[in-house]
Structure 1
């Protein structure tokens, strides 16, 4: 079985308010991410919150997903990855985890399922998305890689593991994966481009 971990703990300091609540086509960015996870082949969806957790949580409670609040969210992204993994690392039957962000609006259940399919086809330990001449999240990590993820620190993300084990990585194309939103101008440009 595969779990989805949606990282949504950041304070969106460059934006000035929680980016998780930005709207696109009538849904918040976090709702879009949650729905992608729910509609995918994954067995469970976990959302890791931190800054503004109470406000953000209210918007996704009705989905019935697992919501974790990372008390150490100010330590950086690594702490949220660790918090998410630790919540199910002792569960039997969990073979993989898909790590994704809440500010990539074009992540869909199709993309998540492609990660799972590619893992089954290639038996590679890591399946990442390829976009804009780079590879990154969403990415699937085999359980055997969890100990490496648990060693991440500070602002380090899953990309560090992708770089460390290139021979263990396969990719799927995700052209719009490079679209993420960090500032008001990013959001306005995004809305202008993708109405």
Structure 2
């Protein structure tokens, strides 16, 4: 089955009364919320895009000039979202086999989430698929068109949720690492949080955990990553007043995710590639050097060096100090000259980073 048979219903018909502004046209960068969703689905390859309008329809039509979408007007939009779902569903092309039900007030859905739902739909043969983030069900669900008539026949009491509850045996919760499936914008503070989330382009701590679980990272390695994040945060706090160009959120995320491929050969590179594929280029760049790094004495401290150092100050999930860690590593590799050279190179890099910190702060480094 090709994605050419999949549609999306973007529901943008309501009053946005709690927001005290019109949600579909709220800006995200240079585009509006409804445009952001359209572009996401187009990027994923969805051709059947239906935008259900009601309140301020003319403003939405003007904003969407140039987009290849179907505008469906719901004259009964005052009755609530379910009436808009029914109106949009009745307009969907008969060649469509399933549709994403996408409220406009959940605008930052990632392409990877759409892909995860679609892949599960193809391989698991379920009729309703919900994106689930750390056990919490979110939007958009992907719904098979076999339920079209049931939805259209409903009196609307309890909304779409009530209709789909009857088919829970045909439903599947799909784990995703995308917290935005839970992030709607009912009020102004919600919108501000979404804007910040988008600008950062950095996974939250909760998303980092979800990414680790998605990559089947064992619990002991998760605890190690959390310990490294704690250490790198401590080191960062000690140097943050010196004006270094290091983003704390990106650094913390890199620390939490640095070992997502630990069970594979060349895990630093493999992990970096996975993060880049998810759109986290900066995090991937930091992760790639956490095993081996070239420290330049006369350049400012950077995030790569801080992660490398923090990783060398933690043994499993406890702070141990780099001397203890390297002493243990050298002893373990006695008789293996190449391994000893590699370990010694990393030891020298660790000492060089500590020296940079001491020169910067004018204090003896004693963390770990």
TM-score (norm 2): 0.49
Q: Does the 8 Å contact 2:53/2:74 carry over to 1?
A: yes
Question: 1-side partners of 2:191 and 2:99: how far apart?
Answer: 29
Instruction: Give the aligned partner of residue 39 of structure 2.
Output: 35
Contact 1:45–1:65 under 8 Å retained in 2: yes
- My pick for the range that moved more, 155-164 or 56-65, is 155-164
1:154 Cα offset (Å): 4.5
Match of residue 119 from structure 1: 121
- Which region of structure 1 is more displaced relative to structure 2, 98-107 or 166-175? 166-175
Aligned pairs for 1:7-22 within 5 A: 7-22=11-26
Greater displacement, 108-117 / 51-60 = 108-117
Aligned mate of 2:28, from 24, 28, 32: 24
Deviations 1:41-72 (A, max 9, x none): 33310000110111122111211211111111
Q: Which runs of 5+ in 1 are unaligned?
A: none
Q: Which residue of 2 aligns with 1:164?
A: 166
Distance 1:36 1:190, change over 3 A: closer
Looking at secondary structure, tell me which structure has more strand per residue. Answer: 1
**Does the 8 Å CA contact 1:4/1:97 hold for their aligned counterparts?**
yes
Unaligned runs of at least 5 residues, structure 2:
200-368
Give me the whole-angstrom Cα distance separating, in 2, the residues matched to 1:155 and 1:68. Answer: 22
What residue number does 2:108 align with?
A: 106
Cα contact 1:137–1:158 (8 A) shared by 2: no
By relative contact order (CA 8 Å, sep 6+), the higher-ranking structure is: 1
TM-score of the superposed pair, with normalisation by structure 1: 0.89
Farther off after superposition, 91-100 or 63-72: 91-100
Equivalent pair of 1:78/1:152 in contact (CA under 8 Å) = no
What is the aligned partner in structure 2 of residue 56 from structure 1?
Answer: 60
User: Does the C-alpha gap of structure 1 residues 157 and 29 become closer, same or farther in structure 2, counting only changes over 3 Å?
Assistant: farther
Question: Shift in Å at residue 165 of structure 1?
Answer: 2.0
What is the alpha-carbon distance in structure 1 between the residues aligned to residue 157 and residue 17 of structure 2? 14
Q: Identify the residue that residue 65 of structure 1 maps to in structure 2.
A: 69
Q: Please identify which structure carries the higher helix content.
A: 2
Partner of 1:83: 87
> Hey, what's the Cα distance between the residues in 1 that align with 2:198 and 2:44?
23
> Aligned partners of 1:189 and 1:175: how far apart in 2?
12
Classify 1:157/1:33 alpha carbon distance in 2 versus 1 (closer, same or farther; 3 Å). farther
The answer to whether the aligner puts 1:141 opposite 2:143 as a matched pair is: yes
State the alpha-carbon separation in 2 of the partners of residues 184 and 149 from structure 1: 32
119-128 or 35-44, which deviates more: 35-44
Q: For residues 196 and 101 of structure 2, what CA distance do their matches in structure 1 show? A: 28
Alpha-carbon distance in structure 2 between the residues aligned to 1:124 and 1:147: 17
The structure number with the bigger radius of gyration is: 2
Number of aligned residue pairs: give it. 193
2-structure distance, mates of 1:50, 1:92: 23
Note the C-alpha offset of 1:101. 1.1
Shift of residue 137, structure 1, vs aligned partner: 2.3
The root-mean-square deviation of aligned C-alpha atoms, in Å, is: 2.0
Against the structure 1 CA distance between its residues 108 and 194, is the aligned structure 2 distance closer, same or farther, given a 3 Å change threshold? closer
1:176 partner SS: helix
